[in-house]
Amino acid sequence: MLLWTTVKIALRSMLANKLRSILTMLGMILGVAAVIAMLALGNGAEQHVVKWVSRMGKNTITIFPHNPKIPPVLHGAAYPLTLGDARSMLKITGVKYVSPVVASNEPVKWGGNSTFCNTFGCAPTYILIHDFQVQSGHMFNDFDCRDMATVAVIGPETAERLFGSQDPLGHTITVRTVRFKVIGVLVPKGRQGWFDPDNQVLLPYTTAMTDLLGRAVALNRIDIQARHASDLNRVQAMAQRILRIRHSLISGDEDDFWISNQLQIIKISSRIVNAFTMLLGSVAAISLLVGGIGIMNIMLVTVTERTREIGIRKAIGARRRDILRQFLIEATLISVLGGIIGVVVGVVAAHYVKFRNFSGQVEPHMVILALSISAAIGIFFGYYPARRAAGLNPIEALRYE
């Protein structure tokens, strides 16, 4: 029996029972659509994470003053990060920029308006490391840091909350109890998860440490930018070696600081997203199993209904493998057609259903995977009914009413 003839017979059988065929395909449609949507959302989440990390600077390394491996009760004894530690990072080959950072969340006021925002004492290189741009005015410079100038660069959201439509340049804001002159406003970046870079105040680190925070030594972190992505691991290793020497750590001692680079953050975030994607995809795949069981059930009913037809085909010369192939193709066709419709539904759902700031991103391999799985399910769950049909005795089949 020719393959195309078998396919036409299968299509004719499906069209003869349209409602039953549609209901049978429904399990595959929902299953494939759910898998496509979950994989697409996971892919979109991963791309969103990479984009989010990249928007906060490229080739970045961050040093924190405590190690998560050390119990919290021992953190107080840890050696703090100092300005000397930050300056020592400039000696590493491959380092492009370094900025000491002190951070807090402070009330900021102007006139009758006030808001709470992230306040960072930093070096002028901070905006270069984290890819900020100045929209109006200018960034403070090294001379401002040296002279402990009371100047500030604010984010666009901070400017809007305090000044509305007015130009903030030249006005004096109060951060906690210290007055700062606004000399620049940053270009909007958009909220980055829990951190809002548009609602912040940047101050010279010397001024922030002495006048605002009252600490002349401890830093919250040291931000570094390597010249090239290929330098990240080497620069991180050198930074670790220098800090261990500066902090008088001997062999066997845990680091009393923590270093992470941008690639590590992306890798860890991607692993977490992929784990959730696989979990959600596995849950969605259960509906594919249910759809396959539905196909087997309907094909068994079909074999029973067409027992006499099978007997006639065998009586006029159809071989066992011809009957097997005919019913196997019918089961696979139902599954694949359901898979194709499911792919369309899944792609549409992934495109229009948004989660927070991202939507699903469908890639060709997802479609190929979904269609392959649907075909495999059709073959797997259709094989038993097809084998049962092929094994019918032709004489008994002809007598069946």
- Residue 204 amino acid letter: P
Return d(Cα 391, Cα 136) in angstroms, integer: 82
Element of type H or E holding 242: helix 232-246
> What does the pLDDT read at residue 401?
55
Is the torsion defined by CA of 130, 134, 135, 140 positive or negative?
Answer: positive
Return d(Cα 264, Cα 237) in angstroms, integer: 13
CB distance 123 to 253 below 8 Å: no
Classify 12 as helix, strand or coil.
Answer: helix
CA 118 → CA 105, 154, 160, 201, 217, distances in Å? 5, 10, 15, 6, 20
> What does the pLDDT read at residue 288?
78
- Digits of tens for pLDDT over the chain (401 positions)? 466 666 776 677 777 777 777 877 888 888 888 888 888 877 777 777 777 666 677 888 999 988 766 665 444 445 688 899 999 999 999 999 999 999 989 999 998 889 999 999 999 999 999 989 999 999 999 999 999 999 999 999 999 999 988 999 999 999 988 999 999 999 998 766 567 888 999 999 999 998 888 766 689 999 999 998 888 889 999 999 999 999 888 887 888 888 888 777 777 777 777 777 777 777 777 777 888 888 888 877 777 776 777 677 777 766 777 777 777 878 888 888 888 888 888 888 877 766 656 667 777 877 888 888 888 888 888 777 777 777 766 666 565 55
> What does the pLDDT read at residue 75?
46
The DSSP 8-state label assigned to residue 65 in this structure reads S
In the chain, domain spans: 3-52+274-399, 66-256
The DSSP 8-state label assigned to residue 192 in this structure reads B
> What does the pLDDT read at residue 181?
95
Backbone Cα Rg of the chain: 33
